[in-house]
Structure 1
Amino acid sequence: MRFTLALVLYRLLFLLLTPLLLVVLLLRSTNHPAYRKRLLERLGILEKNLEPNGIVVHAASVGEIIALKPFISQLLIYNPEMPVTVTTFTPTGSAQVKKLFADKVQHCYLPLDNIISTTMFLKRLKPKAMVFMETELWPNLISQCKSNQIKLLLVNGRLSDKSMRSYQKLAWLITPAIQSFDRILTQSQVNQENYIAMGATPEMCKLSGNLKFDVSLNNDVVTKQRELNSLMTEKRKIWLIASSHPGDEALVLKAFEHVKQQDSKALLIIVPRHPERFEQVAKLAQDAGNHVLKRSQNQLVSLNTQVWIIDTLGELLAACSLADVVTMGGSFSDIGGHNPLEPALFQKPVIVGPNMSNFKEILVQLMSAQGIVQLVENEDMPKALANEVLRLFTDETSAQILGSNSYKVVQANQGATTQSLTALQNLLKSPY
């Protein structure tokens, strides 16, 4: 009874908030015009050409889409008769779906979690199963799926201690949502224990490992790798900042001043996390006194270029191949870091900041294997970061060992994709 009342209140609140959320999307579109497009999809009004009676896989944005690529690719092979619809929330995630799968999958935005929009969404697609990833818990949509006997699978389940503290305050709403899943596959033992503490039964949970370990190089990455490499005119040391956030660039640019004092030929590559910040980051680098080139200019990176901004989509992984040292953005603030496994594919030494809370278990494994460098809180973080970069620039043996060790960790932990696929296939075969 309590959950029913809570769900009713949640549905009413979300319905009332929907106009405000649409306004937020429109405001965000001032810097990123793609947010004002396809607004009807946000309301659950979908294109009529979408085929029903298939499988819906939801991934919020770019990183999740990339992690799910092997899973979705295998899903298409195992279920050729079923349409697969991949949903996202962000325009960059949408672009990634189209780039990776073209017309092999159907695509639309996942609607806002109000009962009218989700009802239209489910009525149009009539999915046999819905797959959510990590911490994507939408109480209204999940409840409706359960009521409509749609199988629910959570893959790559992640519930950090920080998220759990927040969820516990909303346990009256979140716990029933968690209990609605038919199967929950978690990244680690800690995550599994947290889901069980939030109300999941041990029987519905299984430790599958992290899908993000199942990264691999495809032909597209190799092609982009060659394109980027062809633009390099000089042999020089390269430091790459992957998925940078506000605050990261200012710190890095200060550190780069120290690096340039020791190596005047050094090149800094910055890949901002969000496309709407491309111009802002380029200006920051210019204001710091650097000669800046943007990838979109498609010009040769001469010795005169000090900072190269990758202001294009889908080239981060390929850019890692150029680097001598990689630093993960978001790890010097409360963002919690980004996936350090991508540069590990190229056996590159990786430096991260003090906060890698989003990848705690991965960090522990990499640290145990001596496959990553983590900086501790420091009064002069720019100088500490610069010193570590310069050390790895000059000590090539240490850099090679770090890269090799991280690559071994990736290889040893692959297999979550297969387990996730098996779980979904078993759910599709089982009666409700």
Structure 2
Amino acid sequence: MFAYYIVMLAIAVLVGPFLLLKRRARYGMPQKLGIVPEAIKEKYKSPDGVKPIWFHAVSVGEFNAAWPLLKRLNDKHPQQTIVISSTTGAGHKLALERAASFADCIYFPYDLPWCTANWLDALRPKLVTIVETEIWPGFVNQCKERTIPITMINGRMSPRSFGSYYRFRTFFGPILRNFDAIGVQSTGESERYKKVAGDNLPLQVLGNIKFDGLKPISRSEQDELLNRLNLSPDDLVFIAGSTHEGEEAAVINAFKKLPEPKRKRLIIAPRHPERFDKVADIIRLAGFRPRRFSENEKFEQEGNVYLLDAIGHLAKFYSVATVAFVGGTLTPIGGHNIVEPLTYSVPVIAGPHLHKTKDVADALKAHNALIIVQDEKELAQQLELLFNDANLREQLGRHGNEWLKESQGAVERALTMIEKAAGLNSAVPETIQVETAQGERR
């Protein structure tokens, strides 16, 4: 571990000055450097006080994944204190908006001994739970030195990331073996974890807890959203969610090619808040007028494109969609939540870069519930096809929604795992038939 800390310190010295020039990197800097607010120290200083469960959700996607579990844990064990850490400013902001009423929301410290030690000594958590696969070796090691149990929920290891983990398995294997329980999304992930760290890992296939949080809004809420946007139920609405650099232009160009005279609308939701203004400029340069959520604007005429320039609203917006495109897939990011639109039986289009969500994508393709396009040209073709064929839209959306409902239930299994690790009760996981992302039943 000494060599690891030397490398991390060298990186901090070399890269630190450049990071300070970036606004995103400066979010929460004092806490990341191990400076614990006095209010937090005071709250948890009593040796006899209730020790928190510390959840780490690096950013917005991970927090959204953990949210249904956090709510369920708080509902069932309201006396249990909870700490939620994030790394990004957007993730921290979302945690504060949703969970501040029952959890302390902090920034995760840098993986240097004095940074992590300060927080572990101040919080003295009864359990640390990592959301998905945010493995920091020094932090994990310090938890074990303090005999703090550490678990993982919604664990994932894509085929692409598996290559790196496997190549350095002599380093990552012992770190993974320090976990007291690892809950993974699918049997595919389970096998990849075993290949990195051995067959004796404490693995459980829980399913994807993010799916449990995908519940449709009410009809009245949907009507309210339609009214806010000045949409009618007959409008054909194309939503491009979680888009990255280059994808907005492709989406707009595909949208332009749709034939008239059908009333069609385009909504774009960029993945990162710092790109909101830039995307507004992209919309203008394409000959459209941006209408912004942050300015409480709405569709007024055919030349409008709606910019969802806020975090945490995309899932609700899918309720008014006719067709959805999920970003991070035309560019080599690896994909985002391709299941979210299926909450409303909305057919989903994605690009070819799905390595971060491969198991889910494979399952949806096997269920005839996902359209994969290779480029902007194919996106335009498939978008026109779906806009013109209501039966095809219904079929794709229905297949996807059925698969989603069959795949839900992971929250209760994850809760049982956490209760056992934290000593909240002596619950034993019950045998539940769940379809994994590869279609197997367990």
TM-score normalised per structure 1:
0.91
Match of 1:254 in 2: 253
Show CA shifts across 1:269-312 (max 9, x none): 11000000001111111111122222222123112343111112
**1:236 CA displacement:** 2.3
Unmatched tracts of structure 2, length 5 or more: 45-50, 426-442
Q: In 2, distance between residues paired with 1:71 and 1:329?
A: 25
> Could you tell me which residue of structure 2 aligns to residue 329 of structure 1?
327
Report if aligned partners of 1:347, 1:404 keep a CA contact under 8 Å in 2: yes
- The equivalent of 2:107 in structure 1 is 109
Paired position in structure 1 for 2:236: 237
How far apart, CA to CA, are the structure 2 residues paired with 1:56 and 1:334? 32
Residues 67-101 of structure 1 show CA distances to partners (whole Å, capped at 9, x for unaligned) of 11111112223333321001111111111111212
Q: 1:226 to 1:423 in 2, by over 3 A?
A: same
CA deviation map 1:328-363 (0-9, x unaligned): 101112111111111111111111111211111111
Following superposition, the deviation at residue 169 of structure 1 comes to: 3.4
Question: CA offset at residue 16 of structure 1?
Answer: 3.3
Q: Aligned to 2:161, what secondary structure does the other structure show?
A: helix
Alignment partners' CA distance in 2, 1:289 and 1:110: 42
The residue that corresponds to 2:391 in the other structure is 397
Aligned partners of 2:222 and 2:320 also within 8 Å = no
For the residue of structure 2 that corresponds to 1:348, the secondary structure is coil
Q: Does 1:40 align with 2:30?
A: yes
Query: Of 335, 353, 359, which residue of structure 2 is paired with 1:355?
Result: 353
Identify the range of structure 1 (270-279 vs 247-256) with the bigger mean alpha-carbon deviation. 247-256
How many Å separate the matches in 2 of 1:96 and 1:160?
26
1:386 alignment counterpart = 380
Aligned to 1:213: 211
Partners of 1:59 and 1:221 lie apart in 2 by 31
Tell me, in whole angstroms, the C-alpha distance in 2 between the residues paired with 1:384 and 1:239.
15
1:408 counterpart (402, 407, 412): 402
CA-to-aligned-CA distance 1:118-151 (integer Å, 9 cap, x gap)? 0101011111110002211100000000111001
How far 1:422 moved relative to its partner? 0.6
Superposed counterparts of 1:59-98, under 5 Å:
59-98=57-96
* Contact 2:53 2:83 (C-alpha < 8 Å) held by counterparts: yes
Question: Which of the numbers 195, 201, 204 marks the counterpart of 2:193?
Answer: 195
Residue pair 2:128, 2:151 contacting (<8 A) in 1 also: yes
Please tell me the residue identity of whatever aligns with 1:188: S
Determine if contact 1:225/1:319 at 8 Å carries over to the other structure. Answer: no
Distance 1:26 1:171 in 2: 33
Whole-Å separation in 1 of the counterparts to 2:337 and 2:160: 18
Structure 2 distance, partners of 1:219, 1:257, is: 30
TM-aligned CA distance change 1:427 to 1:222, over 3 Å: farther
Q: Distance in 2 between the 1:327 and 1:231 partners?
A: 19
Unaligned runs of 5+ in 1: 1-6
Residue in structure 2 matched with residue 177 of structure 1 by the alignment:
175
In the alignment, which of 12, 26, 43 is matched to residue 18 of structure 1? Answer: 12
Q: 1:352 to 1:222 in 2, by over 3 A?
A: farther
Number of residue equivalences: 416
Contact 2:222 2:319 in 1 (8 A): no
**1:167 pairs with 2:165:** yes
CA deviation profile, 1:194-214 (whole Å, cap 9, x unmatched): 111111444511111111221
Partners of 1:297 and 1:389 in 2: CA distance: 29
Aligned-partner Cα distance in 2 for 1:57–1:173: 24
2:433 counterpart residue number: none
- Tell me the equivalent position of 1:369: 367
Equivalent pair of 1:233/1:302 in contact (CA under 8 Å): no
Counterpart secondary structure, 1:177: helix
Q: Alpha-carbon deviation of 1:255? A: 1.3
- Are 1:345 and 2:343 matched, yes or no? yes
Q: In structure 1, how many angstroms separate the alpha carbons of the residues matched to 2:218 and 2:390?
A: 29
Normalising by structure 2, report the TM-score. 0.89
The percent of aligned pairs where both chains have the same amino acid is 30
Which residue, 415, 422, 427 being the options, matches 1:428? 422
**How has the CA–CA distance of structure 1 residues 221 and 19 changed in structure 2, closer, same or farther, with 3 Å as cutoff?**
farther
Deviates further, 126-135 or 290-299: 290-299
Q: Is the 8 A contact 2:194 2:201 kept in 1?
A: no
CA, structure 1 residues 225+19, in 2 after alignment: closer, same or farther (shift >3 Å)?
farther
> In 1, are the aligned partners of 2:159 and 2:355 still within 8 Å (CA)?
no
Partner of 2:434: none
1:405 deviates by 1.2
Aligned to 1:4: none
Task: Tell me the secondary structure at the aligned position of residue 286 of structure 1.
Answer: helix
Distance across 1 between alignment mates of 2:68 and 2:15? 33
Match of 1:3 in 2: none
Do the aligned partners of 1:228 and 1:319 also contact (CA within 8 Å) in 2? no
Give me the whole-angstrom Cα distance separating, in 2, the residues matched to 1:207 and 1:37: 35
Change in 2 beyond 3 A, CA 1:328/1:218: closer
- Judged with a 3 Å threshold, the aligned counterparts in structure 2 of structure 1 residues 220 and 153 are, in CA distance, closer, same or farther, namely farther
User: Following TM superposition, by how much is the alpha carbon of 1:365 offset from its aligned partner in structure 2, in angstroms?
Assistant: 1.7
Q: Which residue is 1:278 aligned to?
A: 276
Q: Secondary structure at the match of 2:129?
A: strand
